[in-house]
Amino acid sequence: MLPQLITDPSVLGGLLTDASNLPGRADGLVRPRSAEDVADILRHCQSAGIPVLPTAGRTSTTGGATPDGGWLMSMAAFDAVGEIGHDRASAGAGVWLGAFQSAIEATGRFYPPDPTSRNECTLGASVACNASGARSFRYGATRRWVEGLRVVLPTGEILDVRRGDPIPADWPVPRWHEPAVKTAAGYAPPASLLDLFVGTEGTLGVITDVTVRLTDLPSDVIGLIAFFPDRASALAFVEQARDASRGDPRGALSPRCLEYFDRGCLGMAEGRTTVPDGAGAALFCEQEVEACGADAHLEAWLEALTAHGALVDDTILATDGPSRSRLLELRHAIPAGINERVVRNGMRKIGTDLAVPDAALPRMMDLYEASPVEHVLFGHIGDSHLHLNLLPSTPEEAQRAKDWYDQLAREAIALGGTVSAEHGIGKLKRDHLRWMVGEEVLASFRSLKRRLDPNGILGRGNVFEQGPL
């Protein structure tokens, strides 16, 4: 029996868009309580040709959680945290990621993926989009941590998938060369069946339960904001820290994240926090305390920062809860400043999610800085993955910003990079994906999608254009 279909516009009204602000529409909402319910819904919709989109935290910045007609399927009932052991933890797909991580950390274990939205997004969605975050510099994206999934295929079959399970021989699997950078664009060439449901943006199945691998909770973490006179000195430091970290992941200089803020960001933060005179760029870094001890870390950091001309006397350190909270003020002041500007301008911002090979980062940063409209640049510089935020103030500027973004995407592709390192394709980057992978590879994605979802009902409009597959 199908769960009740809710069509009350006042209920649906709150679910029609996501963090992209793309307007959406839906005809109804269903609230399954089990994988079997999900299967019933998908079988019905598959035969009736009704589009279905799972809905949860709606933090997608690419319109991935914006419905384009059909039914929304709430994952809220899948909210049980299961067993948390030493090596593995399980939970329903609808568990809030941050709450799941807190429950794990209370047992002294650690599940690292930390998308910025982790307190507003669900575990299942973070798997579906292979979420990453600042810490992915050290720990990689979500894919590396997923051990098992319960998935309902768009035709209603329920699969319990473990890492290493083989892909059925008659499934057409995409084979192509992903760019050698952090990427969340397109269907990754799968090593096993599990990979088909991680990072495919929910287009190949509905995840209802997740099992992840755990690691040791760091004994302590040192936070630090270092200011630099300019981008070049910050970048030179990043290169040393990145190399050191990759050379010896447990060494004295082995950051778990390296986050960049340009001069524009610091301008946004002024008035909310103190920015030293002469600062042209800043890095937010975290260092887990290893066997060498906190003092050895601090000395190594000071030495490297000094060598690259950082404003060392202004380098801010946080070693405990209150000081870490104050350090976060600076980080939070920046998005707050950007949002204030967006509201004042009355125009949507355009945020990029491009990543390029490390060697190409300076070239990419040249282009970012040459943006024709007001902009700020920040993000995961350790992964050569920066978010350029273009802040147009007129419709003409908005068009210029969009054209510029297209040009940047083409340039990132030409440099061997990706059009999306963590946000995915959703409905906003389908053109960019086509430019990146080409028609032939895109056709191989379609072919797999068609094999699993003959009527293209699941996540319609995400990754692929709406219409016949």
Q: Which residues bind other proteins (CB under 8 A)?
A: 4, 220, 224, 226, 294-295, 298-299, 301-302, 305, 312-323, 326-327
Residue 244 to residue 237: CA distance in whole angstroms:
11
As a whole number of angstroms, the distance between CA 201 and CA 278 comes to 43
Q: How far is the CB of 327 from other proteins (least distance, A)?
A: 7
Pairing of strands 71-74, 52-55: parallel
Quick one: 219 or 407, whose CB is closer to other proteins?
219
Nearer to other proteins, 77 or 367 (CB): 77
Q: Which is nearer to other proteins, 295 or 403 (CB)?
A: 295
Extract long-range pairs of 294-302: CB within 8 Å, 24+ residues apart: 294/220, 294/222, 294/319, 296/252, 297/222, 297/252, 297/253, 298/222, 299/252, 300/251, 300/252, 300/253, 301/224, 301/253
Q: What's the N-to-C CA distance of the chain in angstroms?
A: 29
Nearer to other proteins, 321 or 346 (CB): 321
Distance CA 114, CA 140 (A): 10
Nearest 5°: the CA angle 125, 13, 345 is 85
- The sign of the dihedral angle between the CA atoms of 411, 382, 306, 263 is positive
The nearer residue to other proteins, 106 or 414, going by C-beta atoms, is 106
Radius of gyration of the chain (CA): 22
Q: How far apart are CA 326 and CA 313, in angstroms?
A: 18
Smallest distance, other proteins to C-beta of residue 418, A: 34
**Nearer to other proteins among residue 53 and residue 226 (C-beta):** 226
Q: Minimum CB separation from other proteins for residue 81, in Å? A: 15
Whether the CB-CB separation of 360 and 416 falls below 8 Å is answered with yes
Find the shortest distance in angstroms from Cβ 1 to other proteins.
10
User: Alpha carbon of 214 to those of 84, 90, 241, 393: distances in Å?
Assistant: 9, 10, 26, 45
* Shortest distance, position 270 Cβ to other proteins, whole Å: 15
Residue 173 C-beta: closest distance to other proteins, Å: 42
392: how many CB neighbours lie within 10 A of its CB?
24
Least Å distance between CB 227 and other proteins?
Answer: 11
Do 154 and 205 touch, CB atoms closer than 8 A?
A: yes
CB closer to other proteins out of 157 and 295: 295
Residue number, 292 or 312, with CB nearest to other proteins: 312
Q: Rank residues 217 and 469 by Cβ distance to other proteins and give the closer one.
A: 217
- Cβ-based nearer residue to other proteins, 250 or 326: 326
Helix (H) or strand (E) holding 387: strand 385-390
Residue 314: CB minimum distance to other proteins, A: 7
State the Cα–Cα distance between residues 128 and 412, nearest whole angstrom.
24
How many other C-beta atoms lie within 10 A of the C-beta of residue 170?
6
Shortest distance, CB of residue 105 to other proteins, whole angstroms? Answer: 11
* Nearer to other proteins (CB atom), residue 160 or residue 303: 303
Measure the CA–CA gap between 308 and 246, rounded to whole angstroms.
19
CA distance 59 to 54: 13
- Cβ of residue 326: shortest distance to other proteins, in angstroms? 7
CB of 41 to other proteins, least distance (A): 17
